[in-house]
Structure 1
């Protein structure tokens, strides 16, 4: 079945949908060099066939949504559009329905210093909107936009401002810790920003500890009836100074049943979560 035949929003209204996992760890497993500020974007620029192979690994694991390699490429329109085309090729080769979600990473990602885990860049909403506008325009060929790893409400407000009136559809996911955004704002207030936005088809969290998922989803469910999204890391902590992950002493448990009971329709993994975990999350349609 080439590509998805209907909007992702319709699928989320009817059933659980399986998201892919971490692109960086899969590219590393394929032997790719992710050094430098572009990170996965370096592989997209130099070896796009390897990015397609990584997407394909997740398709074979059962993923129904592929997130593009555009997270850290800044405002380069060539690479942004290429990221969608590469994911599209993998989706069209799949034997099941697959949607392409264009990653719109936070401003902190292009700084390559871990700022997305702090937020509060010192930029106002207007400047953040100006940064994101050309990126969102260049990624318009995807089925949906993944406004992901958002660390604070200023950036969420900027993204929603750019999205308004475009006709595009998106999900909005914050990176969180200890029941708040990474910048320290209450999660109910953060999720409320998107509650009335018709362009936003789902809200939730990504790039966080699995233990932080359920409280965040409960906060989201308290202010919106939109479907929820959850794709955490494996429990490792990113050290921006050393540019290394520090893994947990034991695998972090994933309470997926509770996530779904709270309203999570779109579940997958982020950093250090590979195809094996995605395959284990696969469930038969209801």
Structure 2
């Protein structure tokens, strides 16, 4: 039994954290950079730890490291040595672990400790060219496997509880990550979440059902689902995934606002995540949180609903 199964045997819902870059920006830190939120790992590690801590205070059972867009190659382009770059990837996990220790010291609780998930962002996040939302990479599966293997080796050496293989735009990348996990003999449970463009397809047009069928037969996949997706598509996506697998379903969609790339602004209103969590749980999700433009406020809404529902 992996750690997700253990937690779900004791509680109905695992509450995830919310957007990381959004919170950095809310605190005055600019993420307008090819490294995005990973820039904070060397410029403001204290802020990284504080964001994690605030999500734990909001009721998150899992905090995810600031390694989504972090790679050795990306840090070396900024002038770091290979050893320094590797240390920064591991620091992302250590900062989340430090936040957990601070939270437990504050609470003085004997409840199960929150979990730390190491974020494994897609290849397109490293490219920083928008391809993470298209999946139209100009590399084959072997190259993707090699890319992820090195990152996974470094991240798992920091001993996270989980791996968050997230915002995957294509099934080919999920296959590559599975190959990398096996090549590196990694035993840490991983969740696989896809970015979806509608209620049936992931970003590159592959049906979510096909992704779920593939991962259903993958022992390394501890949970399957979606993130960085519009909330209105989530219920139908959950139902489709549930038809293909009995594994726990994970969802952490965007706030409901829409992004205008022309002026780089967000428009519209955020959804009521407390009410949505109820609907998503009824549809079959067991791990629920938020992605872009969500904040500790949305996590409070989810965790409050979850506690009241118990």
TM-score normalised according to structure 1 size: 0.92
Aligned position for 1:225? 246
Q: Distance in 2 between matches of 1:163 and 1:238?
A: 34
Give the distance between the partners of 1:181 and 1:12, measured in 2 at CA.
26
CA distance in 2, matches of 1:265, 1:257: 11
Aligned to 2:188: 168
Pick one of 110, 115, 123 that aligns with 1:107: 123
Q: CA RMSD in A?
A: 1.7
Q: Output the CA distance in 2 between the equivalents of 1:57 and 1:10.
A: 25
**Separation in structure 2 between the aligned mates of residue 116 and residue 174 of structure 1, nearest angstrom:** 10
2:260·2:267 contact (CA, 8 Å) conserved in 1?
Answer: no
Unaligned runs of 5+ in 2: 73-84
Q: Which runs of 5+ in 1 are unaligned?
A: 1-5
Give the Cα separation in 2 of the matches to 1:245 and 1:226.
37
Q: Which residue number corresponds to residue 147 of structure 2? A: 131
Report SS of the residue matched to 2:244: coil
Describe the shift of the 1:232–1:45 C-alpha distance in structure 2 as closer, same or farther (beyond 3 A).
same
Structure 2 distance, partners of 1:103, 1:61, is 20
TM-score after normalising by structure 2? 0.86
Q: 1:77: Cα distance to partner? A: 1.6
Could you say what secondary structure the match of 1:176 adopts? coil
- Cα pair 1:8 1:99 within 8 Å, conserved: no
Structure whose residues are more often helix by fraction: 2
Partners of 2:179 and 2:10 in 1: CA distance: 29
Q: 1:114 to 1:163 in 2, by over 3 A?
A: same
Equivalent residues of 1:211, 1:253 under 8 A apart: no
Note the C-alpha offset of 1:183.
Answer: 0.1
Aligned to 2:102: 93
In structure 1, what is the Cα distance between the partners aligned to 2:9 and 2:247? 9
